[in-house]
Amino acid sequence: MAVKVLERKPLTWLERTCFPQILGGLRVTFRNLVRPKVTLEYPDQRPVIPAGFRGVPTLTRSTDGREKCVACQLCEFVCPAKAIRITPGELDADAPNAHVEKFSARFEIDMLRCIYCGLCQETCPEDAIHLQKQYSTSGFTRADFCFDKQKLLDLGGILPDRNHKWERGTGRKTD
C-alpha cells in the first residue's frame, strides 16, 4: 500500500507574524470587558436556588422536641445508593413517648453515597426526613461526610407536625 504525502501550502508573511491570532485573542478580551459581570463572590453572594432543588437530607423534630423518626426503616429500604443505615431501639416504659413502639437508636447517612434523589423524604410516613436547601457541605476526611443522628437533627431543626397521631389521646397510637 502506498502512502500518500500531503503537501502543505507555505505560510504567508502575515500568518508567520501571528498577528491574526493575537488580534483574535484581543477581540475576545475586549468583548468580555464590556459584558456585565456574572461572577458571584461566594459566600457573601449566594446563587438563587430553584424551587425543586433537593439538598442535604436531614432529620427533624416536632414542635414539642420529640424526634419524628420511629425507625420504620422505609427510607433505608428505598434508598437506591444504600446511603442510610438505621438501628431501631425500644423505648423504656417510663419514657414520655412510651406509646411509640420504636425509635432510631442509630441513624446515619453517608453523604458521599447519597445521590439526593428525594426518595427517603417521599416514603417517610412521619415526615421525619426533609431535604434542606443547603447545597454545600464540606469536610476534610470521609468520616466528616458520614452524618450521625445528632448532626442530622441539628441540621434539620423543628418542623410542625401535619398529623398528631403520636400524641397521647389523639389518634391511633394512644394509651
Average pLDDT of the chain to the nearest whole number? 86
Q: pLDDT value at position 152? A: 93
Q: How many CA atoms lie within 13 A of 156 on its CB side?
A: 28
Grid cell, residue 155, equals: 441540621
Confidence of residue 84 (pLDDT cuts 50, 70, 90): very high
Q: Provide the phi-psi class of 69: left if phi over 0, else alpha when psi is between -120 and 50, else beta.
A: beta
CB 60 within 8 A of CB 69: no
Mean pLDDT on 133-158: 90
Report which of residues 23 and 92 the model is more confident about: 23
- Cβ–Cβ contacts within 10 Å for residue 161, how many? 17
For the cut 70, the answer to whether the pLDDT of residue 38 exceeds it is yes
Quickly name the fold that domain 57-156 has.
Answer: Alpha-Beta Plaits (3.30.70)
Among 76-80, 95-99, 139-143, 158-162, name the one with the lowest average pLDDT: 95-99
